[in-house]
Structure 1
């Protein structure tokens, strides 16, 4: 029963959230079981561009450290806010959500070229949290029962928590910066006088991830029209009682 409940919950997750969280968990499990090492995953421009280890462009977003408090903390926030975005403001817009992933990952990778950042998964999580928080400004939050605040302050509270734990806040600041760039270009600038939408999801992503819209000029064949569909079994039984 527990397995069925877990499987039902897992399959009920939206597609992008399920794919990303699964990739993160499997990557961490592979490291924990020593199938691979973090040295094969981290972001290294020299190895990427000179040794053509292209997978590092992706794997550095999938590893959140060994199993422990930091890993589970990041996974909870990643799952929660990725899912709320996908089921909320990106509902029915899977291609746009994937494009946000690509846009955010691209900007973080550019920054990683000039900074000694080896893993960018935490920054990516903060980006998701930031975009969600700005799109839900009136939601009241409670942080471990200690702080009450409105949603837009959540990324800054998380940064303060990282500071208290003695971690570098560069990763958090990067996530906030990239999240703000996306939010400004997608939600703010198009609504300004003279503004326009600059982030346009490529057509091939819409073809892959979005359900095609019905052609308003489509005229179904006569046999496909509702009035030509066979009646239900109960109606047939009423007309031809046995």
Structure 2
């Protein structure tokens, strides 16, 4: 069973696996009291005055204590992050990582002017929003109560969060950042006079994407090269004979010709 679980775990796309694992381990560390949420939350004063730079990342990894809210966020995070990575970002890991960085930076900038302590839920909503806009005709069912098309999913989640008594500021932030990314990546470049503004840095492509094969490379068939052994073997034998001071049989003069001389 452990081997089967390991195989299933390794089949998860790399970015989805890394992010969800980091979120689960962070929550487990808090539950086991190795760390506290006070060491993780977003605080500009502690980040820039006391150089606690890890808070720029850890505030995206903690979704609260174990409970319904945590499981709900983990399910949506894993599901839509994986569908994006295996769908529109398939074979484009660097572009997917760049979307993570773009969304994280925008949310952090907004967090500087608002009293937001943890941004993981907003990040999940951003992923859901981008997926929903790229799959507009998919029919959704929410707990068997609502039937709607995918673009309405982020708004349904925001309404559900409101029913649970949570603030909708986080959800609106995720929707806003998701829309900015979707507009700059999918809408604006296809408009008259538009161009692609979000360009993945080369260093990310060098790290996360496999090098592309040269389309102009066309190796010659073996027949044109004389085969794998023919030619190369004979040439090697001829060179070896010459190096030993022996003449190749075809280079020895005919005996009749010597007698005539």
TM norm structure 2 = 0.84
Q: Secondary structure at the match of 1:149?
A: strand
Unaligned runs of 5+ in 2: 230-261
Report the Cα offset of residue 215 of structure 1: 1.8
Cα distance in 2 for partners of 1:51, 1:166 equals 34
- 1:44 positional shift: 0.3
Q: 1:199 aligns to what SS in structure 2?
A: coil
Match of 1:81 in 2: 80
Q: Mapping of 1:197-236 within 5 angstroms? A: 197-218=196-217
SS in 2 for 1:62: coil
Give the aligned partner of residue 233 of structure 1.
none
Deviations 1:61-117 (A, max 9, x none): 000000000000000000000000000000000000000000000000000000000
Q: Paired residue for 2:251?
A: none
1:141 alignment partner, SS class: strand
Report SS of the residue matched to 1:148.
Answer: strand
Label 1:91 to 1:227 Cα distance change in 2 as closer, same or farther (>3 A).
Answer: farther
Q: Which residue of 2 aligns with 1:3?
A: 2
For 2:65 and 2:228, locate their aligned partners in 1 and report how far apart those are by CA, in whole Å.
58
The answer to whether structure 1 residue 31 and structure 2 residue 64 are counterparts is: no
Partner SS state of residue 63, structure 2: coil
Which residue pairs with 1:123 in the alignment?
122
Structure with max Cα Rg:
2
Helix, strand or coil: the match of 2:126?
helix
Paired position in structure 2 for 1:42: 41
For residue 145 of structure 2, what is the aligned residue in structure 1? 146
1:9-47 CA distances to partner (integer Å, 9 max, x unpaired)?
110000000000000000000000000000000000000
How far apart are the structure 1 equivalents of 2:124 and 2:64?
14
Unpaired stretches in structure 1, ≥5 consecutive residues = 231-242
The alpha-carbon distance between structure 1 residues 65 and 204, as it changes in their structure 2 partners (threshold 3 A), is: same
Summarize deviations over 1:162-215 as a string: whole Å, max 9, x none. 000010000000000000000000000000000000000000000000011012
Determine the C-alpha separation between the residues in 1 that align with 2:20 and 2:76: 11
Secondary structure of 1:126's aligned partner: helix
Hey, what does 2:171 align to over in structure 1?
A: 172
CA distance in 2, matches of 1:63, 1:189: 34
Q: Counterparts of 2:54 and 2:228 in 1: how far apart (Å)? A: 52
Answer yes or no: is 1:156 the counterpart of 2:145: no
Report the RMSD for the aligned CA atoms in angstroms: 1.9
Report what 2:71 is aligned to: 72
CA distance in 2 between partners of 1:219 and 1:195 (Å)? 37
TM-score by length of 1: 0.90
Q: CA deviation at 1:217?
A: 3.9
Cα distance in 1 for residues equivalent to 2:141 and 2:113 = 36
